[in-house]
């Protein structure tokens, strides 16, 4: 094999200095800046999780007080939801790859793109400030009337942080939607788009339509808490459950913001590492849109035991079953893609396999919770905690890592150690299952969530869970290490180390600042892989 060298001029070395990064309008640099921010937030959220898991190794409340424990799980949730999961794939991988994949020079509004990053930073600063002042103890869900009338923790400060962070998400979604509509290269028709782009589009739909609702809800909460306005106050005849309706109107679609882009990344990786076109392309594309739309119809399944009308609950239960269908369509199509494909066992594919199994479990257990009768018993138990961690960590985070490992050579021009990456994927997989599978059992046995003490009989499973969490941490630390290492010592990757299809792989790695020397012209469908191709490792 000829030795590859890094290209002489690329977006990373075209200009040096802090100002050239902080004032950049280059979507690729902005994507990397998001990576840094999200990594910091992930570390912070992980530290809070460590606090939770350490406390839960013993049934007594001996590590922290109840109040502190409440703050720990709240801040874990707030950090992970708003500053890791929501931005991660769209803002990092989407920002980096989207313009390249459609053959554009940049997103539609590069300055607004940079503004989105700054807005997220400011939101994060407010949230960290709230933590430094003692945190919040309401749970990341901020239910009224506790959050509006009774809690004496830093609700306002955290609320402001979340409000501001929401605008980052809205502007990113807006930017991506206009980019996909108006910046596609000649010949890039809608049905020639890679599925990752469809996923980003569907996500943008959700970001645009759902996020404003939580913004106004937090605003109403702030008005009630700060000025004594009456929106949810039962003493005035208000309904605290209204807050729940409005909160979950965003927060349920939000989980689709978290999962759709990783699913898009999975489509890309599966096609490349099965050397086969994604089976049922249009079904997968439309399933992304369906998930986005249907995701708006199910929010009250979070309110099943809050006192809503049983008739309404039945409607939402039915709709919650329906929303699983497009996700299932994807899983079937991915499986069919691999069937009779030529599986190439590289790091990105390891994460895909992890994703498939864990997302499946997470999704199926969601159906348990969608069932009214079961939910009455499982609500607010560890079953729910396990369910959403399977989806969000086993699904979204693993999908994110699959995409990160896939596009890392393109982003940095370097290859990482495949054996280290494989080890990390295995550690994360084992650690994850050890952490969260026991929690399904704990929930089934009745252990409630958000309690720092529990009955003796739950201890063994809790210890297993905490042990798993430490293995998970090791896996993540290893991941960060070898990726960092690759930046300095990694082998130059060349334009297309994975022999992948897609416009982003036709340019150098790392790409030029303006992406393409000449605007590409697209003439064929995506994923034109050939099984007879020989894969050189």
Q: Which of residues 276-315 bind another protein (CB under 8 A)?
A: 296-297, 299-300, 303, 305-312, 315
Closer to another protein by Cβ: residue 214 or 391: 214
Among 68, 141, 239, 322, binds another protein (CB under 8 A): 239
What is the contact mask toward another protein in residues 334 to 373, using x (rule: CB under 8 A)? ----------------------------------------
Determine the distance from the C-alpha atom of residue 25 to the mean position of all C-alpha atoms in its chain, rounded to a whole number. 24
Per the CB < 8 A criterion, the answer to whether 262 and 196 are in contact is no
Q: What angle do CA 383, 322, 254 make, to 5 degrees?
A: 60
Per the CB < 8 A criterion, the answer to whether 70 and 137 are in contact is yes
Give the DSSP letter of residue 236: G
What's the closest the beta carbon of residue 236 comes to another protein, in angstroms?
Answer: 4
Among 134, 212, 357, 446, binds another protein (CB under 8 A): 212
What is the contact mask toward another protein in residues 247 to 266, using x (rule: CB under 8 A)? --x-----------------
Among 92, 210, 272, 402, binds another protein (CB under 8 A): 210
Closer to another protein by Cβ: residue 218 or 272: 218
Binding residues for another protein restricted to 3-32, rule: CB under 8 A? 9, 14-15, 20, 24-26
Closer to another protein by Cβ: residue 279 or 516: 516
Closer to another protein by Cβ: residue 50 or 223: 223
Token pair in block for residue 295: 């995701």
Among 273, 316, 383, 388, binds another protein (CB under 8 A): 316
Among 75, 100, 188, 213, binds another protein (CB under 8 A): 213
- How far, in Å, CA of 415 to CA of 142, rounded? 43
Candidate ranges 156-164, 233-241, 345-353, 434-442; the one touching another protein (CB under 8 A): 233-241
What is the contact mask toward another protein in residues 147 to 186, using x (rule: CB under 8 A)? -----------------------x---xx-xx--xxx---
What's the closest the beta carbon of residue 241 comes to another protein, in angstroms?
Answer: 6
Q: Which residue has the tokens 């000829």?
A: 2
Closer to another protein by Cβ: residue 36 or 236: 236
Candidate ranges 155-163, 223-231, 270-278, 500-508; the one touching another protein (CB under 8 A): 223-231
Per the CB < 8 A criterion, the answer to whether 59 and 373 are in contact is no
Candidate ranges 42-50, 218-226, 418-426, 483-491; the one touching another protein (CB under 8 A): 218-226
Binding residues for another protein restricted to 80-109, rule: CB under 8 A? 104-109
Residues in the interface with another protein (CB under 8 A) total 73
Long-range contacts of 35-38 (CB under 8 A, 24+ apart): 35/92, 37/83, 37/87, 37/117, 37/120, 37/121, 37/124, 38/83, 38/84, 38/87, 38/88, 38/91, 38/92
DSSP collapsed to 3 states, 117-181: HHHHHHHHHHHHHHHHCCCCCCCCCCCCCHHHHHCCCCHHHHHHHHHHHHHHHHHHHHHHHHHHH
What is the contact mask toward another protein in residues 495 to 514, using x (rule: CB under 8 A)? ------------------xx
Closer to another protein by Cβ: residue 245 or 499: 245
What's the closest the beta carbon of residue 24 comes to another protein, in angstroms?
Answer: 7
Closer to another protein by Cβ: residue 177 or 397: 177
Closer to another protein by Cβ: residue 79 or 113: 113
- Tell me the C-alpha to C-alpha distance, in Å, between residue 149 and each of 50, 258, 293, 371: 30, 31, 34, 33
What lies within 8 Å, CB to CB, of 190 at 6+ separation is none
Closer to another protein by Cβ: residue 183 or 342: 183
Closer to another protein by Cβ: residue 468 or 520: 520
Q: What are phi and psi of 457, to 5 degrees?
A: -65, -10
What's the closest the beta carbon of residue 150 comes to another protein, in angstroms?
Answer: 14
> Cis bond leading into 145, ω under 30°?
yes
- How far, in Å, CA of 476 to CA of 426, rounded? 11
Rg for the chain (alpha carbons), in Å? Answer: 23
Token pair in block for residue 326: 């497009």
Q: Is residue 231 a contact residue for another protein (CB under 8 A)?
A: yes
Candidate ranges 234-242, 271-279, 391-399, 458-466; the one touching another protein (CB under 8 A): 234-242
Per the CB < 8 A criterion, the answer to whether 192 and 525 are in contact is yes
Closer to another protein by Cβ: residue 101 or 213: 213
Q: What are phi and psi of 448, to 5 degrees?
A: -80, 155
What's the first-to-final CA gap in the chain, in angstroms?
10
What's the closest the beta carbon of residue 183 comes to another protein, in angstroms?
Answer: 7
Binding residues for another protein restricted to 407-426, rule: CB under 8 A? none
Token pair in block for residue 149: 């009338």
What's the closest the beta carbon of residue 506 comes to another protein, in angstroms?
Answer: 14
What lies within 8 Å, CB to CB, of 378 at 6+ separation is 368, 369, 384, 443, 444
Closer to another protein by Cβ: residue 210 or 428: 210
């Amino acid at each position: 094999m000829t030795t590859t060298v890094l290209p002489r001029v690329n977006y990373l070395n075209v200009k040096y200095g802090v100002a050239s990064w902080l004032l950049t309008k280059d979507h690729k640099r902005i994507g990397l800046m998001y990576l840094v921010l999200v990594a910091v937030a992930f570390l912070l959220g992980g530290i809070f999780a460590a606090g939770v898991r350490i406390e839960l190794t013993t049934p007594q409340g001996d590590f922290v007080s109840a109040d502190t424990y409440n703050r720990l799980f709240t801040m874990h949730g707030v950090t992970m939801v708003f500053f890791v999961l929501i931005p991660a794939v769209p803002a990092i991988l989407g920002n980096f790859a989207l313009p390249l994949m459609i053959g554009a020079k940049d997103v539609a509004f590069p300055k607004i793109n940079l503004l989105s990053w700054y807005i997220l930073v400011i939101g994060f600063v407010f949230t960290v400030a709230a933590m430094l002042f003692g945190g919040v103890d309401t749970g990341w869900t901020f239910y009224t009337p506790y959050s509006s009338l009774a809690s004496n923790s830093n609700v306002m400060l955290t609320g402001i942080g979340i409000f501001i962070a929401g605008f980052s998400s809205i502007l990113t979604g807006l930017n991506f939607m206009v980019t996909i509509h108006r910046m596609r290269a000649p010949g890039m028709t809608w049905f020639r788009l890679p599925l990752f782009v469809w996923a980003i589009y569907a996500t943008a739909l959700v970001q645009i339509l759902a996020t404003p609702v939580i913004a106004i809800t937090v605003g109403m909460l702030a008005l009630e808490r700060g000025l004594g306005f009456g929106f949810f106050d039962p003493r005035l005849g208000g309904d605290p459950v209204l807050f729940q309706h409005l909160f979950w109107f965003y927060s349920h679609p939000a989980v689709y913001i978290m999962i759709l882009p990783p699913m898009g990344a999975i489509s890309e990786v599966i096609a490349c590492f099965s050397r086969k076109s994604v089976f049922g392309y249009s079904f997968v594309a439309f399933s992304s849109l369906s998930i986005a739309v249907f995701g708006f119809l199910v929010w009250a399944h979070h309110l099943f035991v809050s006192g809503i009308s049983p008739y309404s609950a039945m409607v939402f239960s039915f709709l919650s079953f329906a929303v699983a269908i497009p996700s299932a369509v994807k899983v079937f199509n991915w499986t069919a893609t691999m069937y009779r494909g030529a599986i190439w066992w590289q790091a990105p594919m390891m994460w895909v396999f992890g994703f498939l199994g864990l997302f499946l479990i997470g999704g199926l257990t969601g159906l348990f919770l969608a069932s009214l009768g079961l939910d009455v018993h499982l609500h607010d138990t560890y079953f729910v905690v396990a369910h959403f961690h399977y989806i969000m960590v086993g699904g979204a985070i693993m999908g994110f890592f699959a995409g990160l490992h896939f596009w890392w050579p393109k982003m940095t021009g370097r290859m990482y150690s495949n054996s280290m990456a494989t080890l990390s994927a295995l550690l994360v997989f084992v650690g994850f299952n050890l952490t969260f599978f026991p929690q399904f059992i704990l929930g089934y046995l009745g252990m409630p969530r958000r309690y720092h003490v529990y009955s003796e009989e739950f201890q063994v499973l809790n210890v297993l869970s905490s042990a798993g969490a430490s293995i998970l941490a090791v896996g993540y630390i290893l991941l960060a290490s070898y990726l960092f290492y690759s930046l300095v010592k990694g082998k130059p990757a060349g334009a297309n180390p994975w022999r992948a299809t897609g416009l982003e792989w036709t340019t150098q790695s790392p790409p030029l600042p303006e992406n393409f020397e000449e605007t590409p012209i697209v003439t064929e469908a995506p994923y034109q892989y050939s099984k007879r191709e020989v894969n050189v490792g």
